[in-house]
Amino acid sequence: MKNDLSYLQESAVQQATQRAADLDPADNVLARHSGKELLERLSLLTLTPRIILDLGCGAGVEADLLSQCYPDAVVVGLDACGAPLFKDPAGRSFLAAVGDAGHLPYQGGVFDLVISNLLLPWCDVDKVLGEVARVLRPGGALVFATLGPDTLCEAHAAWNHVDTFAHVHDFTDMHDLGDALIRHGFVEPVMDVQMLGLTFADIQGLVRDLRALGGTNALATRRRTLTGKHRWQAFKGAYPFRQTDGGRVRATFELVYAMAWAKSGSSGNGSGIHVPIPQSS
């Protein structure tokens, strides 16, 4: 799998996340679409979670909605960037925490449900799945959305006409993700793919949405100098347009959704923060 820490520059990922924190999360069409899809998939679960982790929660949009869906549960929203989490603490309906998804600060077997919306493209997948397997209780569920390799295929093709540098991440294939889940002890993974085409008024609109996602180029092999006017114009000129889109810019996103369960008896105790368990009424 390509999206490990040798493939991405960790400091560039952190900078992109910090920039995204200054933008309104409600404006990010892609993240709000995949978040809505994730929450709808929770209706397929038979468990009633008492402690939930929203991993890579950003500003906490889905964490707030999880609190509404499961009013008797404790919802924890964890993100590596604390800036958006603490902008409006008075209006927050979940426990906010700052932490690394690859080194979760929680005891083993704590959570009944872990949900993650578009976090994995910017992480070491094996580390994150290993940590999620550790903190899930036996029989607990992981539900996540991530991006597949056909994401931003238009931008990838356009940049290939400009230079030989890497501009678009090689996102992990659904089958490789399924193998990784099984490797980390998850059982009965259920996965599906949704091809989503979004249109924008111009390429700058696409770039703004990617920045709001924290999805700018963080490749270790990326070009480090400024793009420059001529190279940018060459990219725009090579970007494919469809007459049926009315002059708008189309970008393809391959959304991969997955649901899997922690194997019974697989979680260890470990050490870390204790999350309070709500009392039954």
Question: Tens digits of per-residue pLDDT, 194-215?
Answer: 999 998 888 888 877 777 765 5
Angle of the 29-41 helix axis to the 203-213 helix axis, nearest 10: 50
In this predicted structure, the answer to whether residue 253 has a pLDDT above a threshold of 80 is yes
| Rounded Cα gap, residues 181 and 125, in angstroms | 10
The predicted structure's pLDDT at residue 93: 86
- The DSSP H or E segment spanning 36 is helix 29-41
User: In CATH, what class is 10-262?
Assistant: alpha beta
Dihedral, 6, 7, 8, 9 alpha carbons, nearest 10: 40
> 4: pLDDT confidence band, cut at 50, 70 and 90?
very low
Residue whose structure tokens are 């923060």: 273
- Name the more confident of 94 and 26: 94
- Per-residue pLDDT averaged across 231-240, rounded? 85
Whole-prediction pTM? 0.82
Asked if residues 58 and 277 have their Cβ atoms less than 8 Å apart, the reply is no
Dihedral, 280, 132, 258, 266 alpha carbons, nearest 10: -80
The predicted structure's pLDDT at residue 171: 86
Q: How many CA atoms lie within 13 A of 276 on its CB side?
A: 7
Residue 147 identity (one-letter amino acid): L
Q: Where are the beta strands (DSSP E) in 105-201?
A: 111-117, 136-147, 186-200
In this predicted structure, the answer to whether residue 193 has a pLDDT above a threshold of 90 is yes
In this predicted structure, the answer to whether residue 184 has a pLDDT above a threshold of 90 is yes
Residue ranges covered by each domain of the chain: 10-262
In this predicted structure, the answer to whether residue 10 has a pLDDT above a threshold of 80 is no
